[in-house]
Amino acid sequence: MNVTIKDIARELGICYSSVSRALNGKPGVSDETRKKITETAERMGYRPNELARGLVSRVSRTIGVVIPEILNPLFNEITTGILETANLNRYDVFLCVSNWDRKKEAEYLKAFIEKRVDGVIIKSADDSPPDSFDSLRLPVIGFENSSARRNYSFVEVDNVRGGYLAAKHLLDCGYRKIAFIGGKKNSFSHNDRYKGFLKAFEEKHIAYNRTLTFTGEFNIDSGYNVARQVFELHRDVDAVFACNDVTALGVLKYLDQNNLKPGDDVGVVGFDDIRYSDLPMINLTTIRQPKYLIGKILMETLLEDIRKKEEGIETVSRKIVLEPELVERGTTKHNFIKTDL
């Protein structure tokens, strides 16, 4: 049904190999016939079959991407960077959402292999990235979890520094009883941010009460519920560092419903700087991750690895660390002085 190079060859009474060479700009065909070929290809509406092409050339110009969520603004923006960079380089992307399910993740990876993608980008659902790639020679790059040390590259933000910046800022403002609401317990990002968080206290020789440490899920409801827990258990908490902005939104929701004014009554710092957190109604102080850039670098690094592999150049696993940045907004106030509520 579709036009093939054989059809074009038959139309012109020549061999189809010449058509292939002509259309791919390879030598071995005269300018005259080349012109005739491109013209008839155009006229007949020829569309190369990338499946056949990929079968012999072993290149599919396709990347597989697995992320845990897409609704989450963090991954949303990272994905945007990934997709735009891919498309800029004429690659197509299989996008798969694991919902933090390790099993699904493995299934997607299997499908990627069967569809012969040229490379894979993965934010693993847990902190032991799949090892099924170790045997294949498929270029892979991960987001976060670099500490799990695989033989592939990683991109991530300096989470220790992020946690440090958050705590230091809160302490500088004058907040003292600071609750830490982390992400999944024992996840690398959680641990690193907590580590940095504690470091700020140490540096200022302020003792940290570890009973103020909590963990939550990556959504608003969780943030809300944990906030309630925090304030019911510890009436004297005067600030919260939430390990991501979505959780922070849940905290803000709790404060709003309990007539606590962010910044004045309770300081709040988030992490990520998601879209809309700069709205005046939200105005969340946060640690910014360069989300779009992360996606862009993930894809660019992967494409470079793919190119090198095609050229037979050995690649080394890299770990690319980006800097987080404090964004001061209205949910923290300088010169905070505790007033008993």
Q: What distances in angstroms separate CA 109 from CA 5, 28, 62, 66, 113, one per listed residue?
A: 33, 40, 13, 8, 6
| Sign of CA pseudo-dihedral 68, 71, 74, 79 | positive
When asked if residue 16 is in the footprint of DNA (CB under 7 A), the reply is yes
Which one of its own copies, DNA, none is in contact with 108 (Cβ closer than 5 to 8 A by kind)?
Answer: its own copies
Which range binds DNA by CB under 7 A, 50-58, 75-83, 202-210, 256-264?
A: 50-58
DSSP assignment letter at 147: G
CA geometry: angle at 29 spanning 27 and 31, to 5°?
Answer: 105
Closest distance of CB 49 from DNA, Å: 3
Q: What distances in angstroms separate CA 139 from CA 64, 109, 148, 321, one per listed residue?
A: 11, 12, 17, 19
Among 207, 281, 316, 337, binds its own copies (CB under 8 A): 281
When asked if residue 103 is in the footprint of its own copies (CB under 8 A), the reply is no
Among 74, 97, 165, 200, binds its own copies (CB under 8 A): 97
> Quick check: 294 and 141 in contact, CB under 8 A?
no
Residues contacting residue 101 through CB under 8 Å, at least 6 positions apart: 125
When asked if residue 340 is in the footprint of DNA (CB under 7 A), the reply is no
Which one of DNA, its own copies, none is in contact with 94 (Cβ closer than 5 to 8 A by kind)?
Answer: its own copies
d(CA 139, CA 306): 6
- For the chain, the distance separating the N- and C-terminal CA atoms, rounded to the nearest angstrom, is 76
71: which 2 tokens? 């609704």
Which one of its own copies, DNA, none is in contact with 23 (Cβ closer than 5 to 8 A by kind)?
Answer: DNA
d(CA 313, CA 138): 14
When asked if residue 6 is in the footprint of DNA (CB under 7 A), the reply is yes
When asked if residue 71 is in the footprint of its own copies (CB under 8 A), the reply is yes
**Contact positions with its own copies (CB under 8 A) in 146-205:** none
When asked if residue 247 is in the footprint of its own copies (CB under 8 A), the reply is no
Residues forming contacts to its own copies in the complex (CB under 8 A) are: 1, 45, 47-52, 54-55, 60, 62, 70-71, 76-77, 79-80, 83-84, 87, 90, 92-97, 104, 108, 110-111, 113-116, 135, 137, 220, 249, 252-253, 256-257, 275-276, 279-282
List residues binding DNA (CB under 7 A): 2, 4-6, 13-18, 20-21, 23-24, 26-34, 46-49, 52-53, 55-57
